[in-house]
């Protein structure tokens, strides 16, 4: 068996490799995947294509990958939405996130920034919490139900013991438009989306959701520094294969992906989008996914969030 696995890894890839993005083209997940695919294409001298299979909050594309042969030729670019919150948000998932996927590597992550509309009279997370406690239910925020921004806010509410109103949106774009227009009080969004608006005076940044400050906004304290130790709610991106894919093939994809994102021009490209390169090992990524599923299950159940 070992020699067969080694032979499979040595021959891999012998044909076109497909990376499925379970979201529409043009978003941050899609752009990152295409950059990674280009690096792998150059390393393998084989075509590596990106296929968008959007629908069901990532379920459509994920199910397609699960049902593909476990040989490394159909991979998934998964995120928090597809592989952390989904385990609890969708009780009728057509697959098991732990059993049916083989984690390969967490490629990169991006922090979110908590910001308020300038009309909200607060200049810090502490002041925001005090305002929210003095006026329960008066502040509102938007975002896709179960999306990273929504989960980040629910975690904040839980840790701060405050009550705000979530206004569901189909995506972060429409929610940001309403936040800028003053129809929403506050929100979490990706650092590179938020910073330009803050620099223009259209938003006031209060905290960053990662464990360390973001190079894109070094003046903004982490939520932990703002009084909530251990707070972390980042958007991460990782590669998965169908369960049963040979370990040596998984190892090769991981190692070549890690080398690809370590190339200076790739690091610069990712950094320009606010992304931090991770390139974790399969074992590290598997542990990350497991801990995220457990973490967000508690947040979702406590908040009573349900999706069908």
> Where are the alpha helices (H) located in the chain, listed in sequence order?
2-11, 28-44, 59-66, 80, 86-89, 125-134, 148-160, 172-180, 191-199, 247-262, 264-272, 282-303
Q: Which residue has the higher pLDDT, 170 or 289?
A: 289
Q: Buried b vs exposed e over 152-174: b needs ≥16 C-beta within 10 Å?
A: bbbbbbebbebebebbebeebee
pLDDT for 8: 59
How many whole angstroms separate alpha carbon 267 and alpha carbon 143? Answer: 29
Structure confidence by residue, pLDDT tens digits, 56-85: 888 999 999 999 999 999 999 999 888 888
Find the mean pLDDT for residues 21-47.
91
Identify the structural domains of the chain with CATH numbers, from first to last: 2-110+234-303 (3.40.190.150), 112-208 (3.40.190.10)
The conformation of residue 280, written as its DSSP 8-state character, comes to: -
Residue 270 has pLDDT above 50, yes or no: yes
CA triple 278-106-232, angle to 5 deg: 75
pLDDT for 2: 47
Percent share of the chain, pLDDT over 90: 77
pLDDT for 43: 95
Residue 6 has pLDDT above 60, yes or no: no
Under 8 Å between Cβ of 109 and 261: no
**Range among 15-29, 62-76, 138-152 with highest mean pLDDT value:** 62-76
Under 8 Å between Cβ of 305 and 158: no
Residue 5 has pLDDT above 60, yes or no: no
pLDDT for 223: 98
pLDDT for 3: 47
Structure confidence by residue, pLDDT tens digits, 208-244: 999 999 999 999 999 999 999 999 999 999 999 999 9
How many whole angstroms separate alpha carbon 76 and alpha carbon 43? Answer: 19
Structure confidence by residue, pLDDT tens digits, 79-90: 988 888 888 988
């Amino acid at each position: 068996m070992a020699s067969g696995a080694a032979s499979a890894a040595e021959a891999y890839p012998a044909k076109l490799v497909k990376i499925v993005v379970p979201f529409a083209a043009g978003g941050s997940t899609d752009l990152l995947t295409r950059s990674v695919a280009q690096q792998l294409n150059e390393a393998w001298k084989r075509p590596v294509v990106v296929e968008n299979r959007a629908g069901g909050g990532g379920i459509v594309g994920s199910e397609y990958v699960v049902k593909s042969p476990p040989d490394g030729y159909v991979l998934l670019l998964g995120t928090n939405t597809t592989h952390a919150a989904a385990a609890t948000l969708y009780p009728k998932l057509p697959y098991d996130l732990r059993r049916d996927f083989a984690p390969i590597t967490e490629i990169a992550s991006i922090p979110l920034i908590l910001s308020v509309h300038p009309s909200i009279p607060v200049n810090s997370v502490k002041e925001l919490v005090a305002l929210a406690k003095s006026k329960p239910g008066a502040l509102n925020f938007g975002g896709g139900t179960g999306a990273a921004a929504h989960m980040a806010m629910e975690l904040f509410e839980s840790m701060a013991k405050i009550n705000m109103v979530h206004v569901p949106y189909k995506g972060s774009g429409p929610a940001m438009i309403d936040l800028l227009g003053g129809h929403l009080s506050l929100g979490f969004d990706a650092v590179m989306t938020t910073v330009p608006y803050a620099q223009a005076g259209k938003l006031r940044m209060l905290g960053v959701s990662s464990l360390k400050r973001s190079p894109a906004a070094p003046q903004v304290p982490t939520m932990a520094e703002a009084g909530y130790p251990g707070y972390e709610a980042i958007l991460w991106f990782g590669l998965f294969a169908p369960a049963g894919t040979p370990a040596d093939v998984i190892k090769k994809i991981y190692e070549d992906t890690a080398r690809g994102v370590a190339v200076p021009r790739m690091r610069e490209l990712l950094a320009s989008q606010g992304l931090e390169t991770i390139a974790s090992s399969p074992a590290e990524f598997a542990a990350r996914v497991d801990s995220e599923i457990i973490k967000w299950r508690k947040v979702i159940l406590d908040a009573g969030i349900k999706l069908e």
